[in-house]
Structure 1
Amino acid sequence: MRKHPEPQTEHAMAQITASVYTSHVPAIGAALDHGKTQEPYWQPVFEGYQFAKEWVAARCPDVVVLVYNDHATAFGPELVPTFALGTAAEFPIADEGFGPRPVPPVQGHPELAAHIAQSLIEEDFDLTLANRLPVDHGLTVPLSLMFGEQPVTGQWPVRVIPLAVNVVQYPVPSGRRCLALGRALRRAVHGFPAPLNVQVWGTGGMSHQLQGRRAGLINRAWDQQFIDRLIFEPEALAAVPTVDYVREAGSEGIELVMWLVARGAMGDLAGQPPPRLARRFYHVPASNTAVGHLILEDPEIRT
């Protein structure tokens, strides 16, 4: 196995300062867009993200690499890339059947995206490069949860590089592959010659199933154990086979492998100290889905 040492990060180089993990339930976006955040059903969900909004306002990154899955808006059954990196300067909001969400288009960072593409492909990750990529709730709901409501004519506070992972059509990537992608992503970012503050966000999950005899399944114990292991033993967690996600967390629970991409980008997996837990939140239900949220900070970097 090839060794990949941690790049020597100078002040003028980009650095990953934190990772954020969150569900991307589409009904959360609808609740925001229709002014339902203070309704009794939704209020506990949005209160759970109040810390995150304050945290990110104080530590707003220059760029977020946002790991999500497309929901048949940019990619249909005719073309399903395992990993697709958005390299455009701007990403339009997708129409998922009810019109685009009333949020601003997403501004990209083509220079850093091109650098990441070059680095990952040289490390043998066969990326699909998306020079045009409409983004759906998988990407916009996390932005809304972290940054709050934004006027459609406005602009998000950060630039975003979308990293789409196929967790819809099998075969899907393993946890091991996703963790390895996160490690390679860290090396790529830390090799970019500009003093950018970068965060990596992993989205999707937690346990849920939307169809079939087990529709409505939520496994609280499995979800909490997943979060524990993600924090403290990510390499062992990455060895969990795909079938276990489906069996324990439902057919859509496989989205949680995307959290492993963000976890792989943290410094402890490159020989640095363990990350600092800034926030942990879990709530059931939100549209028959378990909502999970986590923030991990690099303890050696002050932002």
Structure 2
Amino acid sequence: MSASVYSSHVPAIGAAIDHGKTAEPYWAPMFAGFEPSKAWMKTHRPDVVFLVYNDHATNFDLSVIPTFAIGTAAEFEPADEGYGARPVPKVIGHPELASHIAQSVIQQGFDLTLVNELKVDHGLTVPMNLMFGTPAEWPVRVIPFHVNVVQYPVPSGARCFALGQAIRRAIESFDQPLNVQIWGTGGMSHQLQGPRAGLINRKWDNAFLDRLIADPQDLSAMPHIDYVREAGSEGIELVMWLIARGAMADAGGGRSPRVAHRFYHVPASNTAVGHLILENQA
């Protein structure tokens, strides 16, 4: 595991990209914050991205919502909630590594749902755009990893952090020398409905980033009610960042990671956009 990347996956960001609006005054500052990330990616491009995201009723509706689901297929078609597929390349998977991770993580006590046919929505494709731009083909293979943060009960931060640790152990035990990054997506503070619709909590978001960098173990103990109270009903997506953070070397006794880039911007479609790149140090 070489690095972890954390990013919001606001659907309006994808729409801005798809409709050529990235240079407009409203959007330009947000996209400028990811230019250093694209430059970083050119020299730190992995073989595989293990991408943690949540499905938005594209592949899983309210009849079946797995808590944790891993995409084990060779490829994944883009789709999206209600308005069709975005004009992005299909996602190429890595079935061998995905199957190995599933085997290892399940044996470590985490019950995963295996998904051999999966459509991926903006939760996955928007972060890909932000890090790679709009290529004709994605330059890396991707293992999609869905987390239920839509329908309660949702997994705890502590469970997500421990899952990240198990994923790191699984990747380290794979018998091919692959460069793998893990990405945590979603958030930051936002609420899409009710009397608090449009809530953004800049102070809390930046404190979350501070704690994610410096003391993720302590952060993982934060109860759900704090996410909802301080970051809005959709702020609970941030538990997915704890999966990525748990997979870093220091969570397994190694050195603390290096902060390669940090960025925060409000608003983007009434949402706070957070972004962080952490590198493991040899």
Tell me if the contact between 2:216 and 2:242 (Cα under 8 Å) persists in the aligned partners.
Answer: yes
Match of 2:37 among 39, 43, 52: 52
| Residues 1:253 and 2:235 are matched in the alignment | yes
Residues 1:283 and 2:265 aligned together: yes
Q: Aligned partners of 1:24, 1:66: CA distance in 2, in Å?
A: 12
Displacement after TM superposition at 1:95 (Å): 3.6
1:13-65: CA deviations, max 9, x gaps?
Answer: xxx00000000000000000000000000000100000000101111000000
Residue in structure 2 matched with residue 183 of structure 1 by the alignment: 165
1:137 corresponds in structure 2 to 122
Residue of structure 2 in register with 1:205 after alignment: 187
- Alignment partner, residue 24 of structure 2: 39
* CA deviation map 1:244-286 (0-9, x unaligned): 1001000000000000000000000111110000000000000
The question of 1:93 aligning with 2:78 is answered yes
- How far apart, in 2, do the equivalents of 1:155 and 1:29 lie? 17
Match among 78, 87, 104 for residue 63 of structure 2? 78
Conserved 8 A contact 2:80-2:122: no
The AA in structure 2 aligned to 1:266 is: M
SS of the residue corresponding to residue 101 of structure 1 reads coil
Deviations 1:144-192 (A, max 9, x none): 0000012xxx310000000100000000000000000000000000000
The partner residue of 2:177 within 170, 173, 195 is 195
Distance in 2 (CA, whole Å) between partners of 1:95 and 1:257 is 22
> Structure 1: which 5+ runs fail to align?
1-15
- Residue 299 of structure 1: CA displacement? 1.2
Amino acid at match of 2:66: P
The corresponding residue for 2:13 is 28
Given the two structures, how large is their TM-score scaled by the length of structure 2? 0.99
Shift of 1:136: 0.3
Question: 2:70, 2:145 within 8 Å by CA — same for their partners in 1?
Answer: yes
2:86 is the alignment partner of 1:104: no
Show the counterpart of 2:220: 238
RMSD in angstroms over aligned alpha carbons? 0.5
In the alignment, which residue of structure 2 is the partner of 1:156? 138
User: What is the CA distance between 1:243 and its match in structure 2?
Assistant: 1.0
Structure 2 letter corresponding to 1:235 = Q
The aligned length equals 282
SS in 1 for 2:78: coil
* Matched AA of 1:251: S
Corresponding letter in the other structure for 1:288 = N
